[in-house]
Structure formats: structure tokens, C-alpha cells
């Protein structure tokens, strides 16, 4: 091989250094259905239910990313990706309730969303995370490839349920219908990506130098400059350029560079780059699967939809979107492990303002417990994620599905982990287990999917029903109930509330989205404020001063409490200070909502039912039997 000219090497080094930004060098040692029904479950007479499938769960195209989601058909821009939205499960003040416990691992941290950004912030004192087990947990994120938009959940309560008479209240999440839509036109077979946000990746350095927004474009530009440099030196053997690329990019010591980390450096990738494809085009191409590949390696993720359950106390349930034959996989359940269910314990608050705990007196568990699978003789919990899978309710006599461990060829299930002690999971923040919900008879379209949760669950529920009694429950009025009166009842002014106050468990808040970009006059008329929406603070406390009717529509004059100090950067004013209250006139009712005050909604009832879903003895590993209930 001919020696490479010194000036050429120098030029290439300058070119590559442009990509390294603030990366620090490290040493090289630091761098390193085809069978859709099982034999025991009967034979599926048709694969039509798979041909119609619009969403699939299958191994992701991203290296090391586990499972991903794929489109089973074409979707137009803004088209809903599923028939109904999914549930969101609040996880409240978990750091506060676990204070003093010492070191603990909570793998859900890798899968949860900021609850304030989803409109759940009013429920808690300090911190709220949201388990969004549908697209929010099952779909991966690649910021330059995001093709799915996710909305906010809606706070709803099935008609007629009330804590004065219904023992099911507080046992299920009232946050539902978080919908996912196509952000762009999506082709059949493409992997689906949601937006985790840039901060999520910046916080997780251990995941490696994953490209951020516009990172693929920067990396493509780097390769184009390398191409130009190579083309200007035709006298140099192409093998020399290949060796240089391997030395300075593929085996770079600057392995924190997100620009260099965007390259997979496979022969096919370099070949496509040389054909003038961009890295974004290459990633989309590599992340697209054939229908046969999805059949062979995935499971359908849209066999079920959400609706009000036929079981009154269950809230919402899962219903078949199409006819499903006996033995079909109704849903796959990838599992997030919690090695000690004590991490979900909640304690008495001595002072809700100072966040002090009352001598660590346990009063209940996080609502998430009700959506996880476990065994009475184990501390291990396995919490499923995937579209609508958390909506499958219990019935011992009408059950039409059963559990089984998944086929490792169809997901991220590693059977060997079932022989490992629980401690094996203590340092592992990845998920390696999965179960399936399998039809035990033919299921008709629109039939509710029901599972036998086990005798222990049934016994606990019956005891709960017998003991249900909430003091003064008949006087309770929730924010949801007040919001239902939006079109029939006028809001009371502050003066009217002196004699007819609203319940002490609710607040009235105003929605900034209604006024985004509109100038509003203040009490001090010399100032003008431009209210802008933020992710975490879209609602602010407000008071009704007066109301008037204009053309049959009731409009309100309100005062709104100044946003928190940390959000002053979102307020544009020509003066150094901002008045405490803003006066806004002719505000429509739709711009205001009632919210429950922290720790007052049904899920915080000390009497609310809490129990894991039972995994049958025949399935549960003996190695995990580490607990004896009192």
C-alpha cells in the first residue's frame, strides 16, 4: 500500500475534529406466526386476524433497543394509529415515599413520562411520573425519525360510579384515551418512533452516543465532506481511505461523539452513503420490515381496543377489534420487573405542605400495583406494557384468555431468566421477560377480553367489597363531576362562594392554551403580558370575579395567579416585576377546569383496593418464591 501523503492526513484530521464537539477521548479498552397458535392451544383456522393487523410488536431495528413497534399498513398523516387511546397510570411522589429506604432500583424510570407534561401535576405535592404503557412505553425513540405524535390522556370516570357506593373506585386509573397519530405519512412495515425528548437521551449517557435532533443530517454532511476529499485525491488507493475511515470513525477513541456515533459503519451503510442516500433515509430503509418478517418475528398489537367494561367496578376494559380464533395470541405482554413490591408502598403524610411522613406508617400502595402480575409468595412484580394490555379485566367464569410465557423467537423473552434468582435482576435495568395472552376459545369481535386473576385475587376482592365503607363519602364531589356541568351550570363568583362554596378538595384553574399569543391587560394597566404555554405549566389557579352573558354565551372576568418564579422566562413584560394577579375579561368557560387537590382523588383513598394480578403456580418460578404472607 502506498504511503498516504502527510498533508492529506492532516486535512482529514481537521475534517474529523469538526465532528467531535466536546467529546472526551477514551482508550480502546473502554470502547468495547408462522406458528401463531401453539399445539396445546388448538389450531388457528385462519390467519386473517394477522393479515388485518395494523400495529405490530417485534424486535426493534435499533441495536440494543429490545422490542419496537411497526406499522402493519400504510397510515396517512394525522391518521390515528389505533382505534382507541390508551391508559395512563400515575406514579406519585415515589421518591418522597421511599425516602430512607436506601438504594433501590425502579426500572419503570426508563419507561415513564413526566406526569406534569400530561396534565397530572395537580394530583401530587412534588413529583408525578406517568406510566404510559401503550405507545409511550412500547415504541422506541429516535429523534430524527419520530413519526408518531402522542396526545394527553383524558380524566374520565365511568358513568354513575361514586365512592359512596362503588368499591371499585380508586382501584383503576381514570386517565385514559391517550391517542397516538401519524406525525407524517407512514409506510407499511416502518418502525414507529415517538418523541422521548432530547433531555431523556442527554440524561442517559450509559446508552451511548445516540444522535440528537438533526444529528443524522450533521453526520451525513460529515460523510459528504469525506467523499469530496476522497474524490479530490483519485491517485490514492480507495483501500487507504477505507482504512482511515475505520481508524478515525469506526474505531475512534472519541466515542462520546454523537455525530460519529450515528454511523453503524456496516458495508451496506457505507455503500448506500456512496449512492448519495442520507443517514436518515438509510435508517428508515433499514427499519422497514416485510409483512412476512412481522409474521415470523412479531405479534399483533391491535387485536384489542379500550371501552367501558361490562364489569361495573372495573372501569374500562379491553375488547376484541376482530374475530380471534382459539389459540391466537390476543396480546403479547413485555414485562418490566420490580424485584421488591415494597418500592410501591405509600406512607401517611404528617404534613402535606412540608412533605413529612408520619413515622413511616404505611397506608397503601401505588396504583401501579393493580396493573402488575405477581405471586403471593414472592416480592417480584412483572408489569406489562403494550397497547391496551393493561385494560384486561378479571372474571373467573367468563375468562376467554390465559397466560403463557412468550416464544423467544417473537420478542424479548429470555427463558433462562426464569431459572435465575431475583437478585440477578437487581442491577439490570433492561427487560428480558414476556408473557402472552392466549385465546382459550374463539373470541368474537367486540367481545370483552377477560382473564382469571387467580383465587388469591378473587378472595381479596370479595373481602374488600364486604368491608367497603367511606366516612362522609356521600358528600364527596370530584373535579370530574364539576367539569361535567360545564354546559349546564355557571361558575360561581368569589362573592357567591361566600355563601355557597365549592368543595375543599378542588381547585379552579385556567388553561393557557386558550390565550396563547394573545396580549392581556393587567390590574396595572401600564403593563402588558404575553402568556405563553409551557410543557409543565399549562394551567394556573384562577378566581371568578364576575360574569356576563353575550349573545347567549356566559363569559367571565377572572384573576389568575402569577406563574411560578422559575417560569418567569416565559412571561414577556416591559417592566422588571410582574403583578401577583392578572385580570382577564370575557374568558369562555372552556378555558377553565376544576382539578382535584393533591392527594384527594379516589386513587388516594386508604380503603382503595390494591392487589397484584396472579400468575399461576404452574408458571411461576420456584427460584422467586422468597416471601411468606402473614
Are 320 and 185 in the same domain? yes
Query: In terms of domains, do 401 and 510 share one?
Result: no
Beta-strand pair 304-308/316-320: antiparallel
Name the more confident of 532 and 355: 355
Residues 427 and 518 reside in one and the same domain: no
Co-location of 276 and 228 in the same domain? yes
User: Span 506-529, mean pLDDT?
Assistant: 54
Say yes or no: 245 and 267 in one domain: yes
In the prediction, which pLDDT does 109 show?
84
Assess whether 182 and 312 both reside in one domain: yes
Question: Could you please report the per-residue DSSP string of 98-135?
Answer: TTTS-S---GGGGTEEEGGGGT-GGGSSS-EEEE--SH
pTM of the model: 0.85
Q: Specify the number of domains making up the chain.
A: 3
List, for residues 12-45, the tens digit of each pLDDT value.
554 544 444 444 444 433 333 334 454 444 444 4
Query: How many Cβ atoms sit within 10 Å of the Cβ of residue 295?
Result: 23
Residue 529 has what pLDDT? 38
The pLDDT-based confidence of 200 (bands split at 50, 70, 90) is confident
Cβ proximity of 402 and 394 under 8 Å: no
Judge whether 59 and 411 are in contact, CB under 8 Å. Answer: yes
Average pLDDT of the residues of the chain: 83
In a domain, 46, yes or no: no
Does 463 reside within a domain?
A: no
The answer to whether residue 523 sits within a structural domain is yes
Residue 56: strand pairing partners: 70, 300
Has residue 349 got a pLDDT over 90? Answer: no
Q: Which helix (H) or strand (E) holds 553?
A: strand 553-561
How big is the CA angle at 168 (ends 163 and 171), to the nearest 5 degrees? Answer: 105
Paired residues of 572 in beta bridges:
530
Residues 118 and 16 in one domain: no
Residue 166 counted as domain residue: no
Q: Say whether both 432 and 570 belong to one domain.
A: no
**Residues in contact with 589: Cβ distance below 8 Å, sequence separation at least 6, in sequence order:** 486, 487, 491, 554, 556
| pLDDT number for residue 22 | 42
Q: What is the pLDDT of residue 354?
A: 53
Please compute the mean of the pLDDT values over residues 495-515 and round it to a whole number: 86
Asked whether residue 413 is domain-assigned, the answer is yes
Please give the helix or strand (H or E) that residue 8 lies within, else none: helix 6-17
Confirm if 358 and 273 have CB atoms less than 8 A apart: no
- Each residue's pLDDT tens digit, 300-316: 999 999 999 999 999 99
Planar angle of CA 245, 247, 253, nearest 5 degrees: 120
295, pLDDT greater than 60:
yes
Give the confidence band of 527 by pLDDT, cuts at 50, 70, 90: very low
Distance of alpha carbon 284 from alpha carbon 61, whole angstroms: 9
Task: For residue 150, give every residue at least 6 positions away whose Cβ sits within 8 Å of its Cβ, in sequence order, or none.
Answer: 132, 135, 136, 178, 179, 180, 194, 195
- Its domain, for residue 368, covers 52-161+178-190+292-451
- Cα angle value 20/23/29 (rounded, 5°): 110
CATH of the domain at 138: 2.170.270.10
278: Cβ contacts below 8 Å, ≥ 6 apart:
216, 217, 220
Same domain, 444 and 326: yes
Name the pairing type of β-strands 373-374 and 613-614. parallel
Instruction: Say how far apart CA 225 and CA 214 lie, in whole Å.
Output: 17
Does 415 share its domain with 320? yes
pLDDT, tens only, 551-598 = 999 999 988 766 554 444 444 444 444 445 677 888 888 888 999 999
Long-range contacts of residues 292-295, Cβ cutoff 8 Å, at least 24 apart: 293/58, 293/189, 294/53, 294/56, 294/58, 294/70, 294/72, 294/189, 295/33, 295/34, 295/36, 295/47, 295/50
Q: Is residue 39 part of a domain?
A: no
Domain stops at, among 432, 451, 470: 451
The mean per-residue pLDDT over the stretch 332-348 comes to 93
Closest alpha carbon to 42 in 286, 270, 329, 318: 329
Mark whether 513 and 529 lie in a shared domain: yes
Which residues on adjacent β-strands are paired with residue 329? Answer: 438
544 and 442 in a common domain: no
Amino acid at each position: 500500500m502506498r504511503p498516504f501523503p502527510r498533508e492529506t492526513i492532516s486535512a482529514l484530521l481537521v475534517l474529523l475534529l469538526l465532528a467531535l464537539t466536546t467529546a472526551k477521548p477514551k482508550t480502546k479498552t473502554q470502547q468495547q406466526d408462522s406458528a401463531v397458535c401453539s399445539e396445546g392451544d388448538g389450531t388457528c383456522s385462519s390467519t386473517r386476524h394477522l393479515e388485518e393487523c395494523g400495529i405490530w410488536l417485534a424486535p426493534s431495528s435499533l441495536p440494543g433497543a429490545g422490542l419496537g413497534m411497526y406499522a402493519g399498513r400504510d397510515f396517512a398523516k394525522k391518521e390515528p394509529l389505533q382505534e382507541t387511546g390508551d391508559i395512563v397510570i400515575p406514579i406519585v411522589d415515589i421518591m418522597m415515599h421511599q425516602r430512607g429506604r436506601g438504594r433501590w432500583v425502579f426500572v419503570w424510570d426508563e419507561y415513564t413520562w413526566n406526569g406534569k407534561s400530561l396534565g397530572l401535576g395537580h394530583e401530587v405535592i412534588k413529583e408525578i411520573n406517568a406510566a404510559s404503557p401503550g405507545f409511550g412505553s412500547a415504541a422506541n425513540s429516535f429523534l430524527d425519525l419520530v413519526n408518531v405524535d402522542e396526545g394527553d390522556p383524558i380524566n374520565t370516570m365511568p358513568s354513575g360510579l361514586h365512592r359512596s357506593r362503588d368499591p371499585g373506585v380508586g382501584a383503576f386509573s381514570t386517565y385514559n384515551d391517550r391517542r397516538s397519530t401519524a406525525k407524517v405519512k407512514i409506510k407499511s412495515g416502518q418502525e414507529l418512533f415517538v418523541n422521548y425528548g432530547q433531555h431523556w437521551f442527554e440524561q442517559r449517557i450509559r446508552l451511548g452516543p445516540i444522535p440528537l435532533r438533526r444529528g443524522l443530517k450533521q453526520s451525513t454532511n460529515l460523510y459528504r465532506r469525506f467523499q469530496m476529499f476522497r474524490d479530490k485525491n483519485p491517485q490514492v488507493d480507495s483501500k487507504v481511505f477505507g482504512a482511515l475511515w475505520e481508524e478515525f470513525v469506526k474505531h475512534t477513541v472519541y466515542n462520546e461523539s454523537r455525530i460519529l456515533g450515528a454511523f453503524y459503519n456496516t458495508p451496506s451503510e457505507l455503500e448506500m452513503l456512496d449512492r448519495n442516500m442520507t443517514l436518515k433515509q438509510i435508517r428508515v430503509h433499514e427499519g422497514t420490515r416485510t409483512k412476512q418478517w412481522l409474521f415470523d418475528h412479531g405479534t399483533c398489537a391491535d387485536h384489542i381496543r379500550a371501552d367501558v367494561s361490562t364489569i361495573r367496578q372495573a372501569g374500562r376494559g379491553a375488547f376484541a377489534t376482530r374475530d380471534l380464533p382459539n389459540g391466537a395470541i390476543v396480546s403479547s405482554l413485555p414485562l418490566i420487573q420490580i424485584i421488591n413490591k415494597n418500592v410501591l408502598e405509600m406512607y401517611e403524610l404528617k404534613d402535606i405542605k412540608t412533605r413529612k411522613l408520619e413515622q413511616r406508617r404505611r397506608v397503601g400502595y401505588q396504583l401501579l400495583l393493580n396493573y402488575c402480575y405477581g405471586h403471593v409468595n414472592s416480592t417480584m412484580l412483572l408489569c406489562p406494557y403494550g397497547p391496551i394490555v393493561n385494560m384486561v379485566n378479571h372474571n373467573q367464569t367468563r375468562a376467554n384468555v390465559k397466560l403463557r410465557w412468550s416464544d423467544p423467537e417473537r420478542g424479548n423473552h429470555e427463558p433462562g431468566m426464569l431459572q435465575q434468582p431475583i437478585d440477578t435482576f437487581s442491577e439490570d435495568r433492561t427487560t428480558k421477560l414476556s408473557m402472552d395472552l392466549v385465546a382459550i376459545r374463539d373470541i368474537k369481535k367486540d367481545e370483552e377480553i377477560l382473564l382469571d386473576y387467580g383465587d388469591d385475587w378473587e378472595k381479596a376482592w370479595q373481602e374488600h367489597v364486604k368491608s367497603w365503607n367511606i366516612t362522609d363519602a356521600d358528600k364527596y364531589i370530584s373535579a370530574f363531576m364539576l367539569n361535567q356541568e360545564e354546559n349546564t351550570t355557571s361558575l360561581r363568583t368569589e362573592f357567591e362562594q361566600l355563601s355557597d362554596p365549592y368543595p375543599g378538595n378542588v381547585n379552579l384553574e385556567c388553561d393557557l392554551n386558550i390565550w396563547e399569543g394573545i396580549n392581556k391587560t393587567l390590574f396595572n394597566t401600564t403593563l402588558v403580558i404575553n402568556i405563553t404555554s409551557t410543557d409543565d405549566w399549562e394551567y394556573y389557579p384562577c378566581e371568578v370575579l364576575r360574569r356576563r352573558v353575550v349573545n347567549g354565551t356566559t363569559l367571565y372576568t377572572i384573576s389568575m395567579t402569577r406563574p411560578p418564579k422559575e417560569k418567569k422566562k416565559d412571561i414577556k413584560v416591559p417592566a422588571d416585576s410582574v403583578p401577583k394577579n392578572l385580570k382577564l375579561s370575557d374568558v369562555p368557560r372552556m378555558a377553565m377546569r376544576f382539578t382535584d387537590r393533591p392527594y384527594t382523588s379516589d386513587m388516594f383513598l386508604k380503603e382503595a383496593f390494591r392487589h397484584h394480578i396472579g400468575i399461576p403456580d404452574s408458571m411461576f418460578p420456584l427460584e422467586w418464591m422468597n416471601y411468606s404472607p402473614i
